[in-house]
Amino acid sequence: MKISALLALCFLVLAVPLHAGQVYKWGDAQGNVHYSDKPHAKTVMSIHNLMFQGNFGREWVTHLGLPASAFDVNGVEFYGHFSFLKAGLHFADQITTVSRTYAGEIQTPEFGYGMDGLLKWRHEVLHGIVNGIGEDWRPASDPYLHARYTRPSLRAKSDNKRALQAEMNLAEEAAAPLLCMVSRLTRQKGIDLLLDCMPDLVEAGAQIAVLGSGERQYEERLGDLARRYPGRIGVAIGHNEGLAHRLIAGGDMFLMPSRFEPCGLAQMYAMNYGTPPVARRTGGLSDTIVDTNEAALHDGIATGFLFDGQSSASLMFALRRALACYKTKTVWRAIQANGMKRDFSWNNAAQAYAEVYRAALRLPEGGGAAPRPPISRPQAPGKAKPKSPKAALSKR
């Protein structure tokens, strides 16, 4: 616990604007924060998954040598807990997260986990920037594959499918659509939705291969289904980097039915490998996948299949759309090629981050923590809304 808190302290030091070579100074008993007028380092705070906050007990105010006044709605206090993350979001000059859609989602109670009010208040400095993917995810040079390929040589992908079917103990059927998933086996990732769909998918002639680990109930249900449908469902519990690459290369479709997904990388890997993703319309999945419809096909931009809702019926409807397109090889080849043409490198993200840094440097001294009107603490899920603080932040 102490190690975690000390690591988080480093996080707070990076998140809160400090004087160069000095520590911050907490102000009066109302929790206002005061800084000298000397230059200080500009700060950019990045959010990945707001669900995981790393909050601590109130006693850490004393453990870390902070005055009692620091434990305030305008400081490190967050619903009776000590929150480094909340303080960072409150004081940073600029805030980023990993997709444009997720930047909007975390300003809502459903995805904000109690910080939606704070983020809505700071929306003018909140930016969504989709992650890039590394050079190690390229089918033309991937050392884990049975056969390497490019967009012009996409037919070689079938060699990887055949090898994957053998590796996952599936029947060697070239015509059977092979649906793959590589994921943590948790409710957030929507594995329960897929489990409910599996019998219908097998009935429709599909094969399913899953790699992952997580909650025991999902691991056990996957094992039961694999035994019930030998040759149709293959399951590997655990982490296996090489197998993850082979699933994405050998599969015909890649499944990401996540209830929420801040960015997601696997859908970009899949499109790079000519494996159209089937995913829920949320977070980075919404920002990176172009849903297949008549207009998107006509414009040459369709790259996958998106669904709304959080039910197995919604997922199954999207899967039936994908399976229908799979039967028309010219349409399927076009969707594959569209995905492989997309640029998911870090080039675009790097340029966007550079602009955020420039924006931070252009801000007046004090940046994001300049004088503002009083704020209301965001409402915690299932709790009554607390009273607003009595004072706003004072000038630095």
pLDDT digits (tens, 9 = 90+) for 289-305: 999 999 999 999 999 99
**Angle of helix 157-167 versus helix 241-250 axis, rounded to 10:** 130
Using the predicted structure, report yes or no on whether residue 189 has a pLDDT greater than 50.
yes
Percent share of the chain, pLDDT over 90: 75
For all residues of the chain together, what is the average pLDDT? 85
So what's the pLDDT on residue 362? 83
Do the domains at 2-131+350-369 and 154-343 have one common CATH topology?
Answer: yes
CA distance 234 to 223: 9
* pLDDT reading at 350 higher than 80: yes
Q: Are 17 and 35 in contact (CB under 8 A)?
A: yes
Domain 154-343: top CATH class: alpha beta
Place of tokens 């980075």: 284
Across the range 349-375, mean pLDDT stands at 69
The answer to whether residue 74 scores a pLDDT higher than 90 is no
pLDDT at 37: 44
Q: What is the pLDDT of residue 268?
A: 98
Q: 80 pLDDT exceeds 50? A: yes
Which range has the worst mean pLDDT, 40-44, 159-163, 329-333? 40-44
Confidence of residue 310 (pLDDT cuts 50, 70, 90): very high
Q: Identify the pLDDT of residue 32.
A: 33
CA–chain centroid gap for 116, Å, is 17
pLDDT at residue number 66: 85
Q: What is the pLDDT of residues 114-159, one digit of tens each?
A: 999 999 999 999 999 999 999 999 999 999 999 999 999 999 999 9
User: How far apart are the C-alpha atoms of 176 and 341, rounded to whole Å?
Assistant: 26
Model confidence at 388: pLDDT above 80 = no
Structure tokens at 368: 């994001």
pLDDT for 277 equals 98
Q: What does the pLDDT average to over 254-282?
A: 98
pLDDT at residue number 156: 94
Half-sphere exposure of 137 (CA within 13 A, CB side): 25
pLDDT of 14 over the 90 cut: no
pLDDT at 15 (0 to 100) = 39
pLDDT at residue number 363: 60
- CATH fold of 2-131+350-369 reads Rossmann fold (3.40.50)
Assess whether pLDDT exceeds 80 at residue 8: no
Q: How many other C-beta atoms are found inside a 10 Å radius of the C-beta of residue 112?
A: 20
| Helix or strand run (H / E) with residue 283 | helix 283-288
Q: What pLDDT is recorded for position 39?
A: 54
Q: How many residues does the chain have?
A: 396
pLDDT computed for residue 150 by the predictor? 97
HSE (side-chain half, CA atoms, 13 Å) at 173: 15
- pLDDT over 90 (residue 370): no
How far is Cα 366 from Cα 396, in angstroms, rounded to an integer?
A: 7
For residue 279, pLDDT beyond 90:
yes
pTM: 0.83
pLDDT of 70 reads: 87
Token digits for 350?
């790097």
Decide if pLDDT at 106 tops 90: yes
Residue 374 is predicted with a pLDDT of 35
Task: Calculate Rg over the CA atoms of the chain.
Answer: 24
Residue 34 pLDDT: 37
| Bridge partners of residue 288, in order along the sequence | none
Q: What distance in Å separates the CA atoms of residue 153 and residue 148, rounded to the nearest whole number? A: 9
pLDDT the model gives residue 38: 52
In which region does residue 88 sit, left (phi positive, over 0), alpha (psi from -120 to 50) or beta (all else)?
Answer: alpha
**Residue 372 pLDDT greater than 50, yes or no:** no
394: which 2 tokens?
């004072």
* pLDDT value at residue 85: 92
| Overall average pLDDT of the 31-45 stretch | 58
For the chain, the domains span: 2-131+350-369, 154-343
Neighbours of 91 (CB within 10 A): 25
Pairing type for strands 253-256 and 207-214 reads unpaired
